[in-house]
Chain A
Amino acid sequence: AQSVTQLDSQVPVFEEAPVELRCNYSSSVSVYLFWYVQYPNQGLQLLLKYLSGSTLVKGINGFEAEFNKSQTSFHLRKPSVHISDTAEYFCAVSYSGAGSYQLTFGKGTKLSVIP
């Protein structure tokens, strides 16, 4: 079964500093990979996704992620964070192929941006 590990449950970072949120998944087959963001008292919003092609994926709000098949990782990065980036971030994976509708989510990483 698929599993997703987000190694850091909480990440504090100063405003305008870079940040990396780590995500590793377990799989030996092709996968689709996603990052979602959840702002306080809101639903999850898609940040970016990797389906195929270029391993560097750019998303909304200046975030990007790099798919590394050999390390089964999909880390999320932003070169300079803002206060408004304070939220919880979830990595998710699904199999590509028939029946690939179910997402397996990590437990989330709470990003706190410090002024």
Chain B
Amino acid sequence: GAGVSQSPSNKVTEKGKDVELRCDPISGHTALYWYRQRLGQGLEFLIYFQGNSAPDKSGLPSDRFSAERTGESVSTLTIQRTQQEDSAVYLCASSLLGVDYGYTFGSGTRLTVV
């Protein structure tokens, strides 16, 4: 597609429920990233996928967070047993090969845990 697409744009969930966030990157972009943006904070790196290489999961805050990507296409970020501190905007970005090309960001999913 023309840009990075994320769905849903907004999600309200009850504490303890699982949520799944979706990211559809730009066609041909081999690199895909997930970031979290808490209110008043900078972006926090979560996970990075590059082609068929093993993902860098070093930014995932706990084992309740997981992400998958099939080849160079769609990625899903799953948060299990959501907590209130998980409330944030989750941003997905993709890039052609590497960071020196700059990221293209999606509009994000605003997650609110009540």
Seen from chain A, the residues whose Cβ lies within 8 Å of a Cβ on chain B are 4, 32, 34, 36, 41-46, 49, 51, 90, 92, 94, 96, 100-108
Q: How far is the CA of A90 from the CA of B91 in the complex (A)?
A: 14
Check B42–A106 contact: CB distance below 8 A: yes
B99 touches which one: A4, A42, A45, A101 (CB < 8 A)?
A101
Contact residues in A for B43 (Cβ distance below 8 Å) = 44, 90, 92, 103, 105
Contact residues in A for B33 (Cβ distance below 8 Å) = 101-103
B91 touches which one: A43, A92, A102, A108 (CB < 8 A)?
A43
Contact A34 B48, CB 8 Å, known A43-B91, A101-B31, A105-B42: no
Contact residues in B for A106 (Cβ distance below 8 Å) = 42
Q: Is B28 an interface residue, CB under 8 A from the partner?
A: no
Contact residues in B for A101 (Cβ distance below 8 Å) = 31, 33, 48, 50, 56, 95, 98-99
* CB<8 Å pairs between A and B, sample of 12: A4-B42, A45-B105, A46-B102, A46-B103, A49-B100, A92-B43, A101-B50, A101-B99, A103-B43, A103-B99, A105-B42, A106-B42
A-B contact count (CB 8 A): 61
Contact residues in A for B31 (Cβ distance below 8 Å) = 101
B100 touches which one: A36, A90, A100 (CB < 8 A)?
A100
Who on chain A is nearest to B43 by CB?
Answer: A105
* Range for the number of chain B residues in contact with chain A: 20 to 34
A41 touches which one: B40, B59, B91, B107 (CB < 8 A)?
B107
Q: How far is the CA of A102 from the CA of B100 in the complex (A)?
A: 10
